[in-house]
Amino acid sequence: MPKKVILDVDPGFDDAIALCIALFEPTLDVIAVTSVGGNCPPDQATRNVQAIVEQLDPPRWPRIGAASPPDCPLPADGRYQFGEDGLGGANLDVAELRARHPSEKVIADAVRAEPNSVTIIALGPLTNIARVFQRDPELTSLVGELVMMGGTIDGPGNITPAAEFNIYCDPEAARTVFLSPSTKTLIPLDVTNQVILSFDLFNRLPDASTNVGKLLHAILPPAFRAYRQRFGLEGIHVHDSVALMAAIHPELFTMREMAVDVETVGELTRGATIFDRRRVPAWRHNIAVATGMDKATVIEAMIAGLATAAKR
């Protein structure tokens, strides 16, 4: 029986790659794709989700949620890495905007309709998830599982020395979600940074004669250029696809029960994920955190997932 999932995304090229895999993955039933501001402003994120789904034309179209403005302005400008439109300037066409309902309503309705059956895969700031839990606290115990890309255990942040981007964009939302009684899994930078989509791997992706290949060849070259210019890297991170692999192939990941909280006020540390690893921790374990993975198999599973998408 395919796993019912909702993907909450801020596309972003790595969100887009994860959507290419998820929308054609036979073990997943993507019932909704909900937009959230992060790599690009909320309205652009909604437009990008719509454009990606249209371009991919999956066997079953998901419901689409529209991103609404966060409670506080996005603190980070993702254009340096993701371009003006969040997708490297691909400026994908959108036939018609179908996203009529706010993301938090789409998520809440889907979870309430299928209690304890829906996995939410959160690949952007946790603004929508926190709103769902704040507006209907009962839903924290009705979500099947929450799998999140975000945070960092021991490594540096990627948007500040202390913070990872998704948490940094809305630390109050992240704290609300991390401290909620929902079943949570976190895939942090310590794991996702290990995977680089190199030029060699790019050459193994579907060609532009397929819907998936046409989308990837439109949005990834600018990402490679941005990574080379900004980081001197000959390749790009694919954080969200690694997190998606943890939802599809959890057996490829090493998980550890941990106690986490989020710094929300520090001048230098706002958005930092803090783990209590003292010999006698005072904080209760509240999250399963990925601490390792079978990297080679994860990469092959990602490439295979994109090949499956191209066959449809």
Buried b (16+ CB within 10 A) or exposed e, 154-181: eeebbbbebbbbbbbbbbbbbbbbbbbe
103 binds, among ligand RIB, Ca ion, none (CB under 5 to 8 A by kind): none
Catalytic residue among 101, 217, 237, 239: 239
Element (H, E) at 6: strand 3-9
Binding characters for Ca ion, 85-124, by CB under 5 A (x = yes): --------------------------------------xx
Among residues 291, 239, 67, 264, the alpha carbon closest in space to that of 178 is found at 264
27: alpha, beta or left, given left = phi > 0 and alpha = psi -120 to 50? alpha
Residue 37 three-state SS:
coil
Residue whose CB is less far from ligand RIB, 45 or 111: 45
Calculate the alpha carbon distances from 233 to 8, 196, 199, 227, 291 in Å. Answer: 28, 9, 11, 6, 24
Shortest Å distance, C-beta 279 to ligand RIB? 31
182 binds, among ligand RIB, Ca ion, none (CB under 5 to 8 A by kind): none
Q: Is 12 in the site for Ca ion (CB under 5 A)?
A: yes
Shortest Å distance, C-beta 12 to ligand RIB? 4
Residue whose CB is less far from ligand RIB, 62 or 150: 150
Please give the residues from 235 up to 254 whose contact with Ca ion meets the rule CB under 5 A. Answer: 240
Q: What is the separation, in whole angstroms, between the first and last Cα of the chain?
A: 20
Q: Is 239 in the site for ligand RIB (CB under 6 A)?
A: yes
CA atoms of 75 and 290, how far apart (whole Å): 27
Cβ–Cβ under 8 Å, residues 198 and 302: no
Residue whose CB is less far from Ca ion, 160 or 210: 160
176 binds, among Ca ion, ligand RIB, none (CB under 5 to 8 A by kind): none
Active site residue 237: no
Task: Using CB under 5 A, list all residues that contact Ca ion.
Answer: 10, 12, 15, 123-124, 240
Active site residues: 239
